[in-house]
Structure 1
Amino acid sequence: MRFRPTIVVPAAGQGSRFHDSRHKLEQPFDGSTVLGTTLQHAIETGLPVVVVTIAALAAQVAPQLALRDIVVLDEADARRGMGHSIAAGVAARSGAVGWLVLPGDMPLVRASSLLAVAAALEQQPVAYAQHRGRRGHPVGFAAELFSELVLLSGDEGARRLIARYPAQAAEVDDPGVLVDVDTEADLDALRRVAMPERGADRL
């Protein structure tokens, strides 16, 4: 693929709705962890990847990414929401032709879906994955939106940019683009989808 946007994986959220003693991104999933599986699918695209995370999770992603591709936020910045994490990832790769935002708690998103959104981003300043008419992640942003992306803050992320600019949907046969992990029940459901033959109780 000649058009190579950078995949930004925000993974610094507190996961306040997940009540296990371990962070939701550290939970076992498909032979790895929730975050590890999400990153693996991103890496499989062959596109550049940068993860924005916290110190407690940085060691987990170190085997998958070079240190230069890991942006570590302090706790105060991590509490500033998804928007701030996106801004930090975009700023770390300011020379990219664009950015695909893939939250770290979406381990079912396939590499092919990421590539489909990357291709759609060549057509419009905003692109997103869509499954059966429902918008999901990743969401892509062209380089022309850099100055607005680096000012993002709060939990709404980049929703206002999606509403403001022309957007191209990439319809994909991938229900994973609609599913994230917020609670223990979410994780159990995703495990059953990912490994029906083994069952979640073997993780």
Structure 2
Amino acid sequence: MTAIVILAAGSSSRLGRPKQTLEYKGQTLLQIAIKNALAVTEMVLVVLGANAEHIEPTIENLPANVLHNAHWEEGMSSSIRLAITDLEKNYPEVTSVIVMLCDQPFANAELLTQLIDKKKTTGKGIIASNYHNISGVPALFEKKYFPQLLELSGQAGAKQLLTQYPDAVAEVPFPEGETDIDTTEDYKRLNQKLL
């Protein structure tokens, strides 16, 4: 079984308000991410940290497991370690994990399915999304890479493993992967796509 971990613990400092609750097409960015994940697997973990008390009520009706990262200020690695630890402890049937962010609104169920299918057809242990010649998330990691994910520290995200194990990586094209929401300008650009 493939689990999906949605990283949503950051403080959105550059944006000035929680990006997780920004709306796009009538849903929050985090709701969109969870629904896309649930279309692919029933095992969805959401890692919250900063502003959790404002964010959690917006997703309480969705069947995702929420983890609270008390060390969110350390960076993405702390959320990844928390999620992988939880998977190993409570869900031994999980054989791989997709790590995704809450601020990539075009990381849809089709893309997530492509990551899983690519693993089946290539046999590779890591499947990354590729945009503008960059390998990144959403990315799938086979269980054998869980120990390496648990060793991540500081601001380092799962992307570090893509450069560490290049021979283990296959890629799925995701041209819209460059759209993520870090600033007010990013959010304005996203909404202009609706016009």
Does the pair score TM above 0.5? yes
Q: Are 2:88 and 1:88 equivalent residues in the alignment?
A: no
Contact 1:38 1:107 in 2 (8 A): yes
CA distance in 2, matches of 1:131, 1:111: 17
Q: Are 2:7 and 1:10 equivalent residues in the alignment?
A: yes
Contact 2:135 2:159 in 1 (8 A): no
Deviation at 1:70, TM superposition (A): 0.8
Q: Which amino acid aligns with 2:125?
A: P
Q: Residue in 1 aligned with 2:18? A: 23
Q: Residue in 2 aligned with 1:72? A: 68
CA distance in 2, matches of 1:65, 1:189: 30
Q: CA 1:158–1:46 in 2, change beyond 3 Å: closer, same or farther?
A: closer
Q: Residue in 2 aligned with 1:114? A: 112
CA distance in 2, matches of 1:127, 1:137: 9
Contact 2:137 2:159 in 1 (8 A): no
SS at match of 1:119: helix
Correspondent of 2:95 among 94, 97, 103: 97
Q: Residue in 2 aligned with 1:199? A: none
Give 5+ residue unaligned stretches, structure 2: none
CA distance in 2, matches of 1:145, 1:113: 21
CA distance in 2, matches of 1:15, 1:132: 24
Correspondent of 2:40 among 20, 26, 45: 45
Deviation at 1:192, TM superposition (A): 2.3
SS at match of 1:160: helix
Deviation at 1:183, TM superposition (A): 0.4
Contact 1:82 1:157 in 2 (8 A): yes
Deviation at 1:139, TM superposition (A): 0.9
Count of matched residue positions in the alignment of Structure 1 and Structure 2: 184
Q: Which amino acid aligns with 1:18?
A: L
Deviation at 1:28, TM superposition (A): 1.8
Deviation at 1:136, TM superposition (A): 3.7
Task: Name the % identity.
Answer: 24
Worse-superposed segment, 56-65 or 82-91: 56-65
Deviation at 1:134, TM superposition (A): 4.1
Contact 2:136 2:159 in 1 (8 A): no
Contact 1:9 1:101 in 2 (8 A): yes
Task: With the length of structure 2 as denominator, give the TM-score of the two structures.
Answer: 0.86
Give 5+ residue unaligned stretches, structure 1: 197-203
CA distance in 2, matches of 1:131, 1:36: 23
SS at match of 2:101: coil
Contact 1:125 1:142 in 2 (8 A): yes
Q: Which amino acid aligns with 1:126?
A: I
CA distance in 2, matches of 1:109, 1:158: 17
CA distance in 2, matches of 1:159, 1:34: 22
CA distance in 2, matches of 1:178, 1:5: 24
Q: Deviations over 1:154-186 (max 9, x none)?
A: 222123211122201123xx4332321100111
CA distance in 2, matches of 1:28, 1:182: 14
SS at match of 1:128: strand
What is the root-mean-square deviation in Å for CA atoms of aligned residues?
A: 1.8
Q: Residue in 2 aligned with 1:137? A: 137
Q: Deviations over 1:85-122 (max 9, x none)?
A: 11111221122211101111112211110111122234
Task: With the length of structure 1 as denominator, give the TM-score of the two structures.
Answer: 0.83
